[in-house]
Amino acid sequence: MNFATVRLLAVAAVAAAAAWAWQANRYDKTIAQMQRDHAIERQAAVDTVVTALQAAIDKHRRLTEQLDALDRTHFSEMQRANAENTRLQRALAAGDVRMSVRARCQPDAGAGAGENQPGLGLGDGATGRCELSGEDAADLVDLFAGAERDAEKLRYLQGREKALEGAGRCVQP
């Protein structure tokens, strides 16, 4: 081989090595840029998830506080109503308080038409007030207390449903 060919091969080898190094450097820069871009995108995704998670946690906390307040209000209202009903039942049973109702009395079907009957009386459709015995009055108070408890429970459940609906939570089965 002659000297010119060797020189040409040496120059070609140096040029190839330089091109190889330049290309490797370019690839390294491209890879490094891609890694930086990926890290930025990953961090943005993490920040988005963290923000959404924090918002969900805050929303859950507010809903829990709202439901707890509703529970406390319901419980205190139920205690108050139960205490008042118990007080009223005791007062009725002891005779300290009396209860009367409006009444309209119809005439008995078996009453004779020709007998000596006074003009208008309670049996002739007249209206008046009748006083209830303590036991009957206590039964009525108990009946009304049950209706009041049911109404309070309904208000509580409606408030709870409204709170959950306002929070975007589906409570249907």
| 38-53 as b/e: b if 16+ CB within 10 A | eeeeeeeeeeeeeeee
CB contact set of 140 (below 8 Å; sequence gap of 6+): 99, 132
Q: What is the DSSP letter of 124?
A: G
CA atoms of 59 and 163, how far apart (whole Å): 12
Q: What is the mean pLDDT of residues 62-68?
A: 89
Could you tell me the end-to-end alpha-carbon distance of the chain, in angstroms, rounded to an integer? 91
Query: What are the DSSP calls for 29-63, one per residue?
Result: HHHHHHHHHHHHHHHHHHHHHHHHHHHHHHHHHHH
pLDDT digits (tens, 9 = 90+) for 113-152: 445 555 445 555 567 777 777 777 778 888 888 888 888 8
**Cβ–Cβ < 8 Å for 138, 92:** yes
Is the pLDDT higher at 123 or at 17?
A: 17
Encoding tokens for residue 62?
């507010």
Q: What is the mean pLDDT of residues 163-170?
A: 73
pLDDT digits (tens, 9 = 90+) for 102-122: 777 666 555 554 455 554 455
Would you state the pLDDT for residue 166?
A: 75
* Packing angle, helices 134-166 and 3-94, rounded to 10: 170
**Cβ–Cβ < 8 Å for 101, 130:** yes
CA atoms of 154 and 52, how far apart (whole Å): 34
Q: Which of 82, 128, 121, 124 is nearest to 103 (CA)?
A: 128
Query: What's the pTM?
Result: 0.49
Would you state the pLDDT for residue 8?
A: 86
